[in-house]
Amino acid sequence: MTENGVSRRSLFRAAGVGAAVVGGGALLEACSSGIQGAASPTTSAPAASSSSSATSSATSSRTASGGTITIGWIHPLTGGLAGFGYPDNFVLSQVKETSQYKNGIKIGGTTYDVVFKSYDTQSSVTRAGSLAKQAIQQDNVDLLLASSTPETVNAVASQAEALGTPLICSNIPWEAWYINLGGNPQKPTLKPKHTIMYFLGAEHLALAFKPMWDRIGEKYGNNHQVAAAYPNDSDGNAFRAVFPLVLKGTGYNLDISTAYPDGLTNYTSMISQFKSHGDDFFTNVPLPPDFATMWTQALQQGFKPKLATVAKVLLFPTDAYAMGSKVYNIATDAWWVPGLPWHSSLTGQTCQELAAAYTAAGLGQPNQNISNFTLFEIAYAALTSVDNPHDKAALSAALFKVKLDEAVAGPVDYTSTNLKTNPAPGVAITPPVGIQWQKGKKYPLEAVVVDNTLQPNAKITGDLLPTFTS
């Protein structure tokens, strides 16, 4: 497979293990309850179904003849990654009301009640691994789910593989997941025994940003110079390797800054570099607090690129509201938006209907991780294809046979050998769209879908605007 003439093999030879952590940085926590359209995680989210470790919640009060199936979900509900887990309690509440889960799952003529156990990692890598062991060894879960960044998912995946427990993962770049399990993205022959995932890959971010640069360049001039501020961390090192290869031959030159330490408070030297070189565009992959400082200083010092395209920050409404008008017309990626034409395989609900239910629940503007609903769609498909839900080997094998033509996150097919949609065993790609934070009509800030190059099924909801015109 090639991307813009660059082979996947050469891409990851350069990126190395650094590609494994793209998208895994901490989120800036922001309390925006006073702003219309940005609900506060501490006041408006549905009550969690778990304590700081785990409690169970049965979907039915009756006792089924087959006993229970226990599903554990390990995810960050508090701490620095809480933005990723913000919609998860809503998702779980929706899942519990589906007939498939609420009425019990019929397997081999026997109906099983379903018990959910929700485990809050508190955004701790160590805790994520410990909770996985607890779920498997003490709570005897039949099936695990894990979501949101390598910091959460990889520790859980390692335990699931080691302890022989089926696991479905989301919101982690596939390279991170695969390398952690011992696979090689250059030669993806390893097939995990117990875990599968769906999401995007590191290369998709470069491929999502370039079309937006092209379009702004056509209207406002294009010197094909892209200011690239990459930190000296795993994410920065990965982008430093991946982006130049993906963009090779496209005419774009990355004006890459000196690798800077996370937590830097003075970005004057790199801002001066970008200004002196007259860079038309800007991209980065910083920690959210660092971006807030960097962007504030850039504006103060007069660096105003025609389009800013950022990764790892501004993914969720709370992030954008925390920066106010400074984020006007900054673009990023989105792996799920309400305008996608997908339907739930469980309820038939559209993405738009789920988004509307989320807002009606008092949670503000929709969050991309409503797509975590698909964890439960895959789980149901696998559970209903086995004879015994407590047979972990059989259930693990069933995960790799799941094919859903309809799902909230988009179609997933683990039987496919198409490298574009399934670059490695157990991986299903859900491509991103380009979104831009614009001054809104309904809300002060709105995430507008401005590019669907990688996901043509997404509806464009607004024009791509320059971040600055001069």
Q: Residue 173 has what pLDDT?
A: 86
> Do 118 and 256 lie in a common domain?
no
Structure-token pair, residue 150? 């390598």
40-54, 80-94, 216-230, 365-379, range with the lowest pLDDT: 40-54
Number of other CB atoms surrounding residue 210 within 10 Å: 24
Confidence of residue 46 (pLDDT cuts 50, 70, 90): very low
> Do 79 and 98 lie in a common domain?
yes
> Do 424 and 437 lie in a common domain?
no
pTM: 0.85
- The CATH number assigned to the domain holding 255 equals 3.40.50.2300
At residue 50, does pLDDT exceed 50? no
Q: Residue 402 has what pLDDT?
A: 98
> Do 325 and 380 lie in a common domain?
no
Rounded mean pLDDT of 356-366? 95
Number of other CB atoms surrounding residue 13 within 10 Å: 14
96-100, 177-181, 286-290, 402-406, range with the lowest pLDDT: 286-290
Rounded mean pLDDT of 374-385? 98
At residue 28, does pLDDT exceed 50? no
> Do 185 and 77 lie in a common domain?
yes
In a domain, 457, yes or no: no
- Quote the CA–CA distance of 213 and 394 in Å, as a whole number: 48
At residue 48, does pLDDT exceed 70? no
Q: Residue 202 has what pLDDT?
A: 80
Count structural domains, the chain: 2
In a domain, 462, yes or no: no
At residue 66, does pLDDT exceed 70? no
Query: Which amino acid is present at 76?
Result: P
Rounded mean pLDDT of 284-313? 93
In a domain, 241, yes or no: yes
Q: Residue 199 has what pLDDT?
A: 96
In a domain, 100, yes or no: yes
Confidence of residue 57 (pLDDT cuts 50, 70, 90): very low
Confidence of residue 11 (pLDDT cuts 50, 70, 90): low
In a domain, 326, yes or no: yes
Q: Which residues pair with 156 in a beta bridge?
A: none
In a domain, 14, yes or no: yes
Structure-token pair, residue 159? 């335990």
- Per the CB < 8 A criterion, the answer to whether 406 and 412 are in contact is no
In a domain, 51, yes or no: no
**Domain range enclosing 323:** 2-23+203-334+432-451
